[in-house]
Structures are given as C-alpha cells and as structure tokens.
Amino acid sequence: MWLAVLLFVVILGLFIYLDTRKPKDFPPGPPWIPVLGSALHVHRLRKQTGYLYRATAEMAKRYGPVVGLRVGKDRQVVLCGYEAIKDMLSREEFDGRPQGPFYETRTWGKRRGVLLTDEDFWQEQRRFVLRHLKEFGFGRHTMAELVEEEAGQLVQAFQQKLQGSQNAGVVMPMHNAFGVYVLNTLWSMMAGIRFSHSDLELKMLQGLLTELFANIDMVGCLFSQFPMLRFLAPELSGYNRFINIHQRVWKYLKAELDKHKATFQPDTLRDFMDAYLKTLSSGQKKPSFSESQLLAICMDMFMAGSETTTKSLGFCFLYLLLYPEVQQRAQAEIDAVVGRGRLPTLNDRPKMPYMEAIVLESVRMFMGRTFSIPHRALKDTELQGYHIPKDTMVICNFNGSLMDKGFWGDPDVFRPDRFIDSQGSVIIPDQYTPFGFGKHRCMGETLAKSNVFLFTASLLQNFNFSIPPGTVPPSTDCIDGVTPAPKPFQALVTVRAMD
C-alpha cells in the first residue's frame, strides 16, 4: 500500500517537473504550471489590458521581443518586434501551419484550404488558386471593373438611405456598412455571383461569423489548447458553437457548388469553381485536389477574404469621424483629380497620393491590433538566438512593428502624412508589415487595398461623415478576437453640396 502511494507521488512529481520544464534556451516568458502552462498569466494580463495583443506586448516589455509561452498543450512563441518578425517570416523552416483540433475541425478532421495548410500541399493549391483567379480578374483590369462596380453600388445604397432627408442627413451605423460589397468583389471571381445587400441568409451567416471571430483567437481557443474539453465541456469550451457555425457556412457553400455542378460545361468556364471542377474531372488531377478541398478554399475566401478588408474600412471611417481635417483634405484631392461628374476609378489612384496614404494608415490602425496567422516550426531551429523546437507555434504580434512608438513617433494618431515624402510621393517604410513577407505574403493584398481605396474615395466624393449631434465621439477601442473589430458606431451622413 505505502509502496503504491510512494510510486504515485514519484510519478506525480515527475509529471509536474516535466510539465513545467521549458526546453533549453527557449525564449523567456512567464513560468509554466502543470497542465495550464502560462495560461493563467496570459488570462490575467489580458483581463488587465483588455486585449490579447496588448497582453503579449506587455510581456515583451519585460521579457524582450521574443516571448515564450505554453497555453495548455500549445507551445507558443510570440514575436513583438520588427526584426524578429522579419527574421521569422523570411525563413522556410517557419513555413508550417499549426496542427490540432482547432485547425482540423473547421474542415472536418483534416487540414484543407489555403490559409492553414503548408508544405507541398499548400504550394500546389495556392499556385492553382492564384493562377485561376487571375484568369477571372484577380490583379487585372477585370478586377478593377468589379471593384468599381461594387463602389458604385455602395454609393447608390447610401443615396437611397438619404432620399427625402433634405439637407439634414441620416444617422447610420458605419462599423458594418461594407461587408457584402467587399465580399462581392472576391465572390464574383470565385463563384460568378454577387450577393444582394438585402440577402437575409447572407446577413445571418455574416452575423454568425462576426460572433465566432469575437470568441476565438488567432492562436486558437479553449478546446484546441485543452482538447479534452471537446468531450468534457463542449458548450463551455465553444466547441459546439464552432462546429455549428462552420456547418452552416459549409452547407451554404455546398449549395452553390451543387448549382455549379448541375450547370457545369468544361468548355465554358465561368469562374474559379468551374476551373476547379474541370481539374477534378480530368484524369491528371493530383492527390491534393478534391471536392472537399474546393469547398475549404471557398470557405477560406468567404470567411477571411472579406473579413480584414471590411474591418479596415470600419476603422478608416471611425478615424475619419475623429479627424475631420483628414476627410476634408481627401475630398479636396478627389475634387481636384476626379471632379464630381463621375465616380473615382483605380486609374485615378496614381494621382491621389493622399487617398493612398489614408488606405495605408487605415490598414496600419487595423493590423496594429492583430496577430499574424500562426506559423509552425518544421524542424528544430533557432530564432534571434533562442532555440525553437520542432512544431512550436510562432506568431507575430503586429502591434510590435505597426504601433512601435520608437519608429512611428505618434502611432496612435491617425496621420496619413507619415506615408508621404517631401515631394508628395507615397513612401512605405520597411516596418510597414501588415501583409507579411516572403512566400506567405497575403495573396489578397492587391484586392484589399483596391477595395479600401475605391470604396473610401467614392463615399467621400459624394458624402460628408460627422459625429452625430448630441453624441460623444466614438471610441477607438475595439472588439477583441481573431481579428479586431471597431466597436459599433454611427455617423451623420449628409450629401455633399455641389460647388
């Protein structure tokens, strides 16, 4: 009996020792406790600061720009400085993506898609996506026409809301005013359709996704860091909700795919879905191609393709309310270059450096609150002098590069001029990292910046946006989650007078 108790105590002590022991030369960070690792420390700091990105930024002040953590089963390294971020993103040994329930459950037990896959599978699929999206307009003149059409639809929607308001204007929510129009610019190439802003099912799905993104983090969630919670506490851990929302999105996309299959003609390709279906029907398709993979790509594009752009626009108009002089200067540039007789186009962009600077500053304000999509070390390696074991999750806190006071000077101020040199030309410093580096640089960068530019320019050409009378200025605090969202805010929208 006593021998059994002694053996149990020895085994327990050994478990505690091994579970709290950090790998040799692992980056510094808070101490690890059994099972939880540094989860409680991160949770307390997040509660104090309000946000995960601020919590890890605070840790970086104490431990340095490379912070080592363990949250449940996940060994994590958070990079909070430009040099460390650039070093990691430039090296192939960090090109992996995380593994585990969070990254596999979303696509039914196997990592699929292009956002969270890696190595040969990812390269093959990403190459196919880029090549065939270009055929349907991605990065070409046709894409400009799609963005310009949606910008026109957005202006018309605002005009309809202001009908009958005389000169008084209308108070309307701005934090969520852009989602359908942004999605359409991508979805027209993906599936050859555009959604109506009054589509109730789409609005429901976007609402569910907004809720989902506010309740999980880029580094995972409870059921991924503590996998047993999927079975012990599926509701509390968020597992059931995660599954339910993804099932509804999957069902929505599958219905569109079934329509494509029913009308598919291999000699007349209408969009990306058709191009993929043609590959599936050929006898030379590679093992990475499947109908499930096509749906996973569509889900990646549906969920992430519009998410960051929509929120960048939300932050853009939030700051335009708070900095009316920026809005007025942008309108002066629009009037001088475009006039009032037609809507702006992307061909006007090279002649509108201040509007371009507003795009860069809006994206900085959004991405300065975010993390990168997590990477995974594909082998034992080193980073900034520290040992990084194989399969460690490595993630960039872009706050460290985009909101660095030592470099930007006044990072919390919305100042587009920081991107314009003495000759009036746009300059982009190396520290501007919102789209990443190297092979994993965001493939939607061109479309995202085009959307923010043209949607903003088109609205500012036709309307004034101000803080509603009798209300306090909107807060620049955000809603934490996978990607930050501006808190709900409204603007008084009035039609610009014709001079």
Both 397 and 481 in one domain: the answer is no
Residue with more model confidence, 472 or 102: 472
User: Is the domain of 383 the same as that of 480?
Assistant: no
* pLDDT at 311 > cutoff 80: yes
Q: Is the dihedral of CA 472, 474, 476, 477 positive or negative?
A: positive
Rounded to whole angstroms, how far apart are CA atoms 294 and 284?
16
Report the distance separating Cα 412 and Cα 433, nearest Å: 17
The pLDDT-based confidence of 383 (bands split at 50, 70, 90) is very high
Among 151, 156, 150, CA closest to 187: 150
Candidates 273, 316, 291; CA nearest to 474 is 316
pLDDT in tens, 265-294: 999 998 899 999 999 998 778 899 999 999
Two structure tokens written together for 252: 């929505």
Whether the predicted pLDDT of 13 surpasses 60: no
Is the pTM higher than 0.85? The answer reads yes
**Domain contains 120:** yes
66 and 190, same domain (yes or no): no
Q: What is the largest CA-CA distance in the chain?
A: 95
| Residue 138: band (very low, low, confident or very high) from pLDDT cuts 50, 70, 90 | low
- Torsions phi, psi of 465, nearest 5? -125, 125
Q: What is the DSSP letter of 66?
A: E
pLDDT-based confidence at residue 140 (cuts at 50, 70, 90): low
Residue 455 located in a structural domain: yes
Q: In CATH, what number is assigned to the domain containing residue 49?
A: 3.30.43.20
- Is 53 a member of any domain? yes
CB contact at 8 A, 432 and 337: no
Dist CA 370 CA 433 (whole Å) = 11
Local confidence band at 302 (pLDDT 50, 70, 90 cut-offs): confident
* End position of a domain, from candidates 384, 403, 422: 403
Q: Following DSSP, what letter does each residue of 122-181 receive, concatenated?
A: HHHHHHHHHHHHHHTTTTSHHHHHHHHHHHHHHHHHHHHHHTT-TTS-EEEE-TTSSHHH
Task: Check the annotation: does 396 bind a ligand.
Answer: no
pLDDT, position 444: 87
pLDDT tens-place string over residues 38-77: 999 999 999 999 999 999 999 999 999 999 999 999 999 9
Which range is most confident: 99-108, 173-182, 416-425? 416-425
Are 206 and 87 contained in the same domain?
Answer: no
Residue 213: alpha-carbon gap to chain centroid:
10
8 A C-beta contact, residue 354 and residue 416: yes
Are 82 and 55 found together in one domain? yes
Q: What does the pLDDT look like over 202-224, one tens digit per residue? A: 888 788 788 888 888 888 889 99
46 plus 63 within the same structural domain: yes
Residue with tokens 């004034």: 464
% residues pLDDT > 90 (the chain): 71
Residues 409 and 304 both lie in one domain: yes
CB 443 within 8 A of CB 316: no
pLDDT, one tens digit per residue, over 229-247 is 999 999 999 999 999 988 9
Region 394-410 average pLDDT: 97
| Of the candidates 195, 176, 277, the residue with the CA atom closest to the CA atom of residue 488 | 176
175 shares a domain with 60: no
Distance CA 330, CA 353 (A): 10
**Number of domains into which the chain is organized:** 2
Same domain, 257 and 164: yes
- The answer to whether residues 142 and 134 touch, using CB atoms and an 8 Å cutoff, is no
With both helix axes pointing from N to C terminus, report the angle between 200-215 and 179-191 in degrees, rounded to the nearest 10: 110
- pLDDT value of residue 2: 62
Number of Cβ within a 10 Å radius of residue 459: 23
Residue 344 lies in a domain: yes
| Lowest mean per-residue pLDDT among 73-77, 163-167, 330-334 | 163-167
Of residues 10 and 3, more confidence is placed in 3
Q: What is the pLDDT of residue 499?
A: 67
Average pLDDT on 5-26 reads: 63
Using pLDDT thresholds of 50, 70 and 90, give the confidence band for residue 6.
low
Q: Is residue 16 part of a domain?
A: no
Residue 19 pLDDT: 55
Tell me the CATH number at 286.
Answer: 1.10.630.10
CB atoms within 10 A of CB 252: 16
Residue 471 falls within a domain, yes or no? Answer: yes
Q: Please give the angle made by the CA atoms of 240, 244 and 248, to the nearest 5 degrees.
A: 175
Task: Burial-class residue 150 by CB neighbours within 10 Å (0-12, 13-18, 19+).
Answer: buried
Report residue 399 as tokens: 């706050």
Q: How confident is residue 15, by pLDDT bands cut at 50, 70 and 90?
A: very low
Q: Which domain holds residue 39?
A: 30-94+373-403
Does 19 map to a domain? no
Write down the pLDDT at residue 198. 81
Of 153, 426, 114, nearest to 289 (Cα)?
Answer: 114
Residue 24 pLDDT exceeds 50: yes
Cα gap 256→244, rounded to integer Å: 19
pLDDT of res. 366 = 97
Predicted confidence (pLDDT) per residue in 341-373, tens digit: 999 999 999 999 999 999 999 999 999 999 999
For position 461, what pLDDT does the model report? Answer: 98
**Three-class secondary structure of residue 85 per DSSP:** helix
> Do 204 and 119 share a structural domain?
yes
Phi then psi dihedrals of residue 426, to 5 deg: -75, 130
Distance, in Å, from the CA atom of 370 to the CA atom of 136, rounded to the nearest integer, reads: 31
Burial of 293 (0-12, 13-18, 19+ CB in 10 A): buried
Residues 489, 358 share a domain: yes
Confirm whether 21 is domain-assigned. Answer: no
Contacting residues for 290 by C-beta, under 8 A, at least 6 apart? 280
Q: What is the mean pLDDT of the chain?
A: 91
How many whole angstroms separate alpha carbon 88 and alpha carbon 73?
A: 22
Per-residue confidence at 18, pLDDT binned at 50, 70, 90?
A: very low
pLDDT at 135 exceeding the cut of 80: no
Min mean pLDDT across 6-20, 99-113, 467-481 is at 6-20
Mean pLDDT of 147-152: 94
Query: How many other C-beta atoms lie within 10 A of the C-beta of residue 492?
Result: 18
Does one domain contain both 342 and 420?
Answer: yes
Please give the Cα distance from 56 to 38 (Å, whole number).
12
Confidence at residue 12, expressed as pLDDT on a 0 to 100 scale: 46
Which candidate, 283, 333, 328, 340, places its Cα nearest to that of 464? Answer: 328
For residues 209 and 222, give the distance between their C-alpha atoms in angstroms, rounded to a whole number: 18
Whether the predicted pLDDT of 323 surpasses 90: yes
464 phi and psi, to 5 degrees?
A: -105, 145
